[in-house]
Each structure stands twice: as C-alpha cells, then as structure tokens.
Amino acid sequence: MKKSEPMSESYYYILLCLAKGANHGYGIMQMTEKLSGGDVIIGSGTMYGATGNMMKKGWIREIMSAEGGLERRRLYQLTDSGREALRAEIARLKRMLENAEEV
C-alpha cells in the first residue's frame, strides 16, 4: 500500500474525532455530524467496518470505559500510528488545498 493513499471521509472523521481523546461510536458519529455541519454522516455499517479495519491497521484500539459501573462502554482510542496516519492525511489535504490556491 502506498503511504499516502487517500483516506475515506469516514476514516478521516473517525480519526479526527478521536484526536482529542477516546470516544464511543455514537459520540464519533455525533461529533462528525457537528464538525461537518451535517454533511458527513457515519452509519452503523460504515462505523463497524471502518473501526474494525482501523483496529486491524493498528490506527485505533478498543478500551472499556472505567466510569459508570454497570454502563461500561466500548471506547475507541487513537494509537501513535493512527495519529501519524491522521497527520499525513491532513498534510496531504493541506497540500491539495494549497495547490488549488496556486492555480
């Protein structure tokens, strides 16, 4: 796989939502909708597939929330390599934007 292969919108927003801390699927979905002004929605099938694939890639990992006693929830957390992948994608997008401004 090429290092700078474009990320799907869903992958990108999931990583973005996890940049500031662990979150659960629903939190990621809501945050994505808010960030994108309702443009990007992550449905459950897309969410399950994307998080599963990114766990396989080692970009995110699964943790259980400590608080809440009975209501222990599954949270996703960014790994170092996930942070690196996100940084590379942001750099790629920035470059594309700069190129657009040059033209």
Nearer to another protein, 92 or 103 (CB): 92
Nearer to another protein, 10 or 17 (CB): 10
Q: Which residues bind another protein (CB under 8 A)?
A: 8-10, 24-26, 29, 40-52, 62, 73-74
Instruction: Give exposure, 75-97, as e/b (b: 16+ Cβ within 10 Å).
Output: bbebbeebeebbeebeeeeeeee
Task: Note the residue count of the chain.
Answer: 103
Nearer to another protein, 45 or 68 (CB): 45
Neighbours of 61 (CB within 10 A): 14
Instruction: Please report how close the Cβ of residue 102 comes to another protein at its closest, in angstroms.
Output: 29
DSSP class of 79? -
Nearer to another protein, 5 or 98 (CB): 5
How far is 103 from 101, CA to CA, in rounded Å? 5
